[in-house]
Amino acid sequence: MAEYVDEVVIPYDRDLGPVLFDYYGVDTARRISEQSPRDVLEIAAGTGIVTRHLRNMLPKETHLTAVDISDSMMELARTKFLSNEQIIFQNADATALPFEDEAFDAVVCQFGIMFFDKELAFRETYRMLKPGGNYLFRVWDSEKYNPFASLSFEVFKQFFPSDPPHFLFEPVSCHQIDPIKEKLINVGFDNIEISVQRHSYDILDVTAFARALVFSPVIFEIRDRGGVDPEDIVKVLAEAFKKEYGSNPMRYPMQAILFETERL
């Protein structure tokens, strides 16, 4: 467990978090805080990046619950909060959540739904929302707009031509809007608003960013294939990013899709 935290979770939080998740996390927290909810649930909270922004912007009296299926990510998330900050961390499966019906005024999930059964998760969210409650979640747009997936895959193909690792395509697997919209409607959600959000981030340490991508869960695919030093992939990936987007700093582009809906 400690090795997994050091090797995967800490780089994820330290080197991917500021680039990929922080800007959207601030926007999520702002949108939720404007609704003045009393009870908020964050699903797939990971290492607490969005959770931190939620707690900073929500009123002190708002109860905040953060869940994730990963013990190691929850362990790191807990270290970012004081004991008096009115936040509950809990390990839980997004498709079978241990909460009562109509328990929350708002539910949020940033870049998580691509990793579990969406219809089951939407039904659970609908069940737990109070009438009039809001559901906000984001997904990544396609790999065309998110080079953490597309450029990484091209580099992986250089090392594993016949069977390149595919994990980094999973985060960009939910970019088709209509299937998600239909699932939300089938569950009972209404007033669905969808927006595309572009952003760019100046990366100073491109190698650290590349290393965090290689030492994401894709590292297990790399090791299963064998015969390649992961640090060699890091070097090639960092150079590919610099060639494509410059350096000192690297102007990194990304694009996400925001869904906002409610239970009537």
What percentage of the chain reaches a pLDDT higher than 90?
Answer: 96
162 in a domain, yes or no? no
195 in a domain, yes or no? yes
**pTM of full prediction above 0.85:** yes
Angle 84-90-91 from CA coordinates, rounded to 5°: 155
| Structural domain count of the chain | 1
17 in a domain, yes or no? yes
220 in a domain, yes or no? no
Task: Give the model's pLDDT for residue 7.
Answer: 84
Task: Give the model's pLDDT for residue 5.
Answer: 64
Domain span at 13: 2-145+175-209+252-262
239 in a domain, yes or no? no
Q: What is the 3-state secondary structure (H, E, C) of 99-158?
A: CCCCCEEEEEEECCHHHCCHHHHHHHHHHHEEEEEEEEEEEECCHHHCHHHHHHHHHHHH
What percentage of the chain reaches a pLDDT higher than 70?
Answer: 98
Contact 98, 92 (CB under 8 A): yes
* CATH number of the domain within which 104 lies: 3.40.50.150
77 in a domain, yes or no? yes
Q: Which residues pair with residue 196 across a beta bridge?
A: 257
The mean pLDDT value for 87-101 works out to 97
165 in a domain, yes or no? no
**The pLDDT of residue 42 is above 50:** yes
Which has more pLDDT, 155 or 8?
155
- pLDDT-based confidence at 1, cuts 50/70/90? very low
236 in a domain, yes or no? no
